[in-house]
Amino acid sequence: MAELWKVKSAEEEFKKEYFFRNREAEENRQRETRAVIRIQSWFRACKVRAYLSHLHKKAVIIQKLWRGFTARAHIRQMVKAAYFIMKMNFYEEMAVRIQARWRGFFVRKYIHDFYARKKYLERLLVNNELMRRELDEIQELQRREREYLKMVKEQTAEVYQAHRLHHLISTKQSPGVFNSPFRPGPHEMELLLREVKYQTPTSLASRHRGCFRDMSDRARPSFSGTSEPLWIKSTRACDLRPKLPPITSKKQQTGNLTSNNLS
């Protein structure tokens, strides 16, 4: 009985031990499984990383070779294009030089001949000189004409003034205004009053229109001698007014008759 009790108690102990050992083994098995899984994952990761590193290196090598090939091909194309552009520029420059030489030769020979242009310029200088001389002559003629017209105007004004002041002529009884006893010779107006005859005052514009005198006679004419001055003759010759007949048959008395008798 005691033996049975011992056996039963040993069985209980054995069950507890078995259960304890079995649970411990299960715990160890799970821990070992996790450790194995970790080891396997690390190993597989190492293998994959090594494989990927190997692939990366091979890809880098392939990419390097390909990029070198494409870069060399691109450089060859660039060199060819640059060489082609350089040759075209050289050819264009040579063509421009040839065209410039040919156009210059053609223009100098057929269009703008140097000797013909030289002759043309010489003729142009001669024509310019002739034109300048003609213009100088025309200018001189115009200046002389202006001087002549001015002188004629002044002389006609003096004649008109003498006609207006004819009553101031010197006589034996009255010496006159212009005949001063203190002068060594007679006054110019006095000489003019002696030369002209009395006339009715009229406008100067209608009387002396279109009158011109020889421009070589520039000095004022003298009143010496018995002949009538040339400019008085010209003023009388230029009087183009129509001469009207007298109203009556009676001879017209001149205003200078008395003065001439007195003088």
Q: What is the pLDDT of residue 247?
A: 56
Q: pTM above the 0.85 mark?
A: no
Quick one: tokens of 220? 């004022």
Contacts 24+ apart (CB under 8 A), 235-240: 235/155, 235/156, 235/159, 235/207, 235/208, 235/211, 237/211, 238/207, 238/208, 238/209, 238/210, 238/211, 239/207, 239/208, 240/209, 240/210
The 8-class DSSP code of residue 213 comes to -
Quote the DSSP letter at residue 111.
I
Separation of alpha carbons 195 and 121, rounded Å: 61
Q: Is the model's pLDDT at 263 over the cut of 70?
A: no
| N- to C-terminal Cα separation, the chain | 221
Rounded to whole angstroms, how far apart are CA atoms 21 and 180? 183
Domain locations in the chain as residue ranges: 149-242+255-262
Query: Does the pLDDT of residue 18 top 50, yes or no?
Result: yes
Within 10 Å of residue 221's Cβ, how many Cβ atoms? 13
DSSP, residue by residue, 77-90: HHHHHHHHHHHHHH
**Where do we find the tokens 């008798």?**
261
Please identify which residue in the block is written with the tokens 């056996």: 7
- How many whole angstroms separate alpha carbon 217 and alpha carbon 213? 8
Contact 162, 197 (CB under 8 A): no
- Lowest-confidence segment of 21-35, 36-50, 67-81 by average pLDDT: 21-35
pLDDT in tens, 90-144: 999 999 999 999 998 888 888 877 788 888 889 999 999 999 999 999 999 999 9
Provide the pLDDT for residue 118.
86
Does 235 score more than 60 pLDDT?
Answer: no
The predicted-structure confidence for 150-185, as pLDDT tens digits, reads as follows: 999 988 888 877 777 767 776 665 666 777 667 777
